[in-house]
Amino acid sequence: MAASTEQAAQQMLTVLEKTVSQNQNDQKQAMDYIAAACQQDFPVFVQCLSMILRTQQCESFVRQAAGLQLKNVLCAKETETRTGYLQRWLQLTTEVREQVKQNVTGTLGTEPSRPSIAAQCVAAIACAELPQNLWPNVIQLLKSNVTEPASGEMLKESSLETLGYICQDIDPRHLEAKANDVLTAIIHGMRPEEGSANVRFAATNALLNSLEFTKTNFDNEAERNIIMQVVCESTNNPDQRVKVASLQCLVRIMQLYYEHMLPYMGSALFQITLGAMKSQEPEVAMQGMEFWSTVAEEEFDLYMAYEDDVERGVENPQCSSRRFMEQAASHVCPVLLEAMAHHDDGDDEDDWTPAKAAGVCLMLAAQCVRDDIVNYVIPFFKHFQNPDWKYKEAAIMAFGSILDGPDPKKLLPMAQEALPAIVAAMCDKNVNVRDTAAWALGRVIDTCSELANNAELLQSVLPALSNGLHQEPRVANNVCWALVSLVKACYESAVANGTDGTGQPETFALSSVFDPMVNELIKITDRADGNQSNLRITAYEALMELIKHSPKDCYSAVRNTTVVILKKLESLLQMESQATSEADKAQVRDLQAMLCATLQSVTRKMQPVDIPAVGEHIMNGLLQIMNRAAATRSNAVMEEALLAVACLAEHLGKGFINYMNVLKPYLLQGLANVDETQVCAAAVGLVTDLSRALEADIMPYMDEMIEKLIFCLQAPKLDRNVKVVIIGTFADIAMAIESNFERYLNTVVPILNDAQNAAVVTDPNDDDQVDYVDRLREACLNSYTGILQGFKASPDIAATRMTVKAFVESIISLIVRVSSMEPVPPSESLMATTAGIIGDLVGIYEGEIVRFFTSDNVNNMLQVGRKSKVGKTKSMANWATKEIKKYTSNGAAGFNFNR
């Protein structure tokens, strides 16, 4: 190393010593120096840090500090920052990079402390270089460190830690070719012959992180047997860390390689995991339960896939479930039930415990095993009357947990029998029992909604719920949701008995107590302890659901609630100005957001005749909220306020024009807020609702809106899903302003063209990408459809044809791409939209354009659409087919894009 670099390293050594100084000023100066050194001469900076990290004569804490600083300039969580760090590293000369790599790999095994900071540095560099085909021998080097007989415990442990970090952070594709070397090192470290528990723990963790890219090894029976043997043997390790990590490996293996597990289930996995569930060590027990939860989830998904194949008419559908859960349920369920009864009164609500893990596992098992679960759980219901609150609570929890599995008709008699005990438990002296009883009551009503029509039952349930609202916040929280379940069940039952043209029933079973229920919930929002257990927010959410599911004879409650909410909004504005602490201000802002959301519910339910009378009051309140939210940058409040304005606009229709001038600044500000996805999305949605409400009257404001929408589409930071919504918004704008949209064609059409060209599936196995491309294509076609229909409203057909012709080629190009059905077929919704725009184009250009839609691909897509079970897809495909046939044989001239 050059003399200047050595001097810099010596200076850096002194600075690093001060990073742990008790003197805050010294500490700040040291960190400022480090930041400046990184910016001024990055090559020398990383060389110095790696040199100090490797130097064993340095104090341990100084080496750790050097390693930490080095790691922090090599990797970051944020994608943008991480990309910048990667480029900076790769721009270093080969000499500098090699020197740093020699230093960090040379540090492995020499650190006196755990975990190894050098391991993190080596992994960070490997993750940067391996995808670039650099440092090809790093995996071989780490393998040698583990397998060489002369390697010491610390060297093996830190090398395995490095492999674990690499496997965790790198794209699996870049390690698939090196999977054998990785596994060789890991399996060597996990062998029973390895005497160090630390080495075996590091190896097991590395295996856990490597499982995703070892598919080839698991497909090979001999290699799979070796891996499974080593993992199963490791579950017997006396070191709890190794035992837990080994069980975690089994969970992940079951998730990734379920189809290969049959030979191992009866001989090893069943006994290992059942024993783990019975362990007195919570971490061990929870991994055993996680294993069976995973089994249940996998088998439930396989069964659902099978049912989907049956429904779609797939020939000879096969269910590939091995039915492990079904066969093991009689053994697993008793262990789960017993575990649910073993928890402490002082358990924190947020702590994950074996009792909670057992409850989740039982719920998943019920979904998987279905009706049979009842036979394994019924004996435990004797504990409904157990004086030991733990068993009583566990029995109620078990009852609520299995309700998603069996046929509701089979559950109904059991629910009727259990309900009195559950209602009685809501008055139990133990808060855990009352809390679980309130939760279970809601679950019962959700599942067996017929019970809500039982007048005798309501007489016992309603007082219990009313009483529960005034109990501890955690109990009242669950009571709120139980109330919602009850109201929904009664409402749906009333709807089934008949509605008028509005779709609302005249009355329902709770009409006589609806007003008191609403008033009780409003009182709950004012409880002093309402911030505990999220009670206040839950009460508002429950209030919204009650308003949404109110029959016509409860309309007075809707009107009264509107007045109450407006008064609360006014008082909250005063409260915010008086709040001093950040916590108090945040709580007030949360309430403002909830009140805006509640206003949405009451506005949707208001009768048209009442909207104008209260509209001005609602809008004035919302304007005050938006003004305050803009000043304090309260994004959640602004989002809900914009959504509430959209709801009001929808109901006021053209009458909303009176508020456009005062709304415009907040709307444009929301559209420009690309850093806050939800606010921007709410503003985009408001543009759509305003377009539908105001129609052509929105034209004076449209230039600025279009300008902001284009700005959003060009913003790199804005979530791509919001951009899809914006693309679709042009449809509503075009249909609102009709031929006036010609003003924006030269701006919007190139954007649609760019979007459809970018809508390409490159990886058919990437579900997120497939879904995104499908939605983007549909948004483009919807916008084209909106533009076409907007121009079709003009009586001048010839002018419409000439205007639209400028972008017909783009539309046809997208139709051709969608109808190819490759590499993945379009969704039902996209297929319907595509068929619809084919019909629109044929309607405009008649026989001139038909030849583009008589190809095999288009015919095949429309044939699939005509056979669809989705009504819209079927009707659109039939309509498009008829339009095409109408003009196929009339010998009209072909369409010329350039004419």
DSSP codes of every residue in 822-861? -SSPPPHHHHHHHHHHHHHHHHHHGGGTGGGG-SHHHHHH
- For residue 670, give the nearest of 694, 724, 634 by alpha carbon: 634
Give the number of other Cβ atoms within 10 Å of residue 840's Cβ.
Answer: 20
Q: What's the start-to-end Cα distance of the chain, in Å? A: 73
Q: In the 8-state DSSP scheme, what is residue 381?
A: G
Distances (CA, A) of 290 to 211, 249, 353, 361, 808: 17, 11, 12, 7, 55
Q: In the 8-state DSSP scheme, what is residue 268?
A: I
- For residue 300, give the nearest of 364, 236, 350 by alpha carbon: 364
Give the number of other Cβ atoms within 10 Å of residue 440's Cβ.
Answer: 28
Round to whole Å and give the CA distance between 102 and 135: 11
> What does the block give as tokens for 305?
């896939």
Whether residue 644 contacts residue 600, with contact meaning beta carbons closer than 8 Å, is answered with yes
Q: Which residue stretches of 316-353 are H helix? A: 324-340
Give the number of other Cβ atoms within 10 Å of residue 674's Cβ.
Answer: 20
Please, which residues have CB within 8 angstroms of residue 306's CB and are 6 or more apart in sequence?
A: 317, 318, 319, 320, 321
Q: Which residues of the chain have pLDDT under 70?
A: 1-3, 345-349, 576, 579, 889-899
Round to whole Å and give the CA distance between 151 and 194: 12
Percent composition of the chain: helix, strand, coil (DSSP 3-state, to 5): 80, 0, 20
* 3 state SS of 472: coil
- For residue 180, give the nearest of 127, 222, 233 by alpha carbon: 222
What's the pTM value of the predicted model, to 2 decimals?
0.80
**Residue ranges of domains in the chain:** 268-311+318-343+350-406, 723-898
Round to whole Å and give the CA distance between 691 and 50: 61
> What does the block give as tokens for 15?
């600075």
Please give the full DSSP string across 552-591, using - where no structure is assigned. GGGHHHHHHHHHHHHHHHHHHHHHHHH--SHHHHHHHHHH
Q: Which helix (H) or strand (E) holds 431?
A: helix 431-447
> What does the block give as tokens for 741?
């949209």
- For residue 261, give the nearest of 221, 288, 293 by alpha carbon: 221
Round to whole Å and give the CA distance between 276 and 604: 53
Q: What does the pLDDT read at residue 899?
A: 46
- For residue 498, give the nearest of 509, 506, 510, 488 by alpha carbon: 506
Round to whole Å and give the CA distance between 454 and 439: 20
- Total length of the chain: 899
> What does the block give as tokens for 786?
């909106």
The H helix count followed by the E strand count for the chain is: 41, 0
Query: Could you tell me how far CA 590 lies from the centroid of its own chain?
Result: 22
Give the number of other Cβ atoms within 10 Å of residue 241's Cβ.
Answer: 16
Please, which residues have CB within 8 angstroms of residue 102's CB and are 6 or more apart in sequence?
A: none
Round to whole Å and give the CA distance between 65 and 54: 12
Please, which residues have CB within 8 angstroms of residue 869's CB and are 6 or more apart in sequence?
A: none
Round to whole Å and give the CA distance between 632 and 59: 48
Q: What does the pLDDT read at residue 898?
A: 52
Q: In the 8-state DSSP scheme, what is residue 170?
A: S
For the segment 653-679, what is each residue's pLDDT rounded down to a tens digit?
999 999 999 999 999 999 999 999 999
> What does the block give as tokens for 512?
């006589």
> What does the block give as tokens for 536?
């206040």
Distances (CA, A) of 643 to 247, 565, 599, 682, 686: 47, 16, 10, 6, 7
Distances (CA, A) of 303 to 181, 262, 370: 37, 17, 11
Whether residue 687 contacts residue 725, with contact meaning beta carbons closer than 8 Å, is answered with no
What does residue 257 show for φ and ψ, rounded to 5 degrees?
A: -130, 40
Place of tokens 């959640």: 636
Round to whole Å and give the CA distance between 376 and 337: 10
Round to whole Å and give the CA distance between 556 and 515: 8
Single-letter amino acid, residue 532? Q
Whether residue 291 contacts residue 247, with contact meaning beta carbons closer than 8 Å, is answered with yes
* 3 state SS of 204: helix
Please, which residues have CB within 8 angstroms of residue 87's CB and are 6 or more apart in sequence?
A: none
> What does the block give as tokens for 95?
């000499």
Whether residue 445 contacts residue 485, with contact meaning beta carbons closer than 8 Å, is answered with yes
Give the number of other Cβ atoms within 10 Å of residue 897's Cβ.
Answer: 10
Round to whole Å and give the CA distance between 778 and 785: 10
Q: In the 8-state DSSP scheme, what is residue 869?
A: S
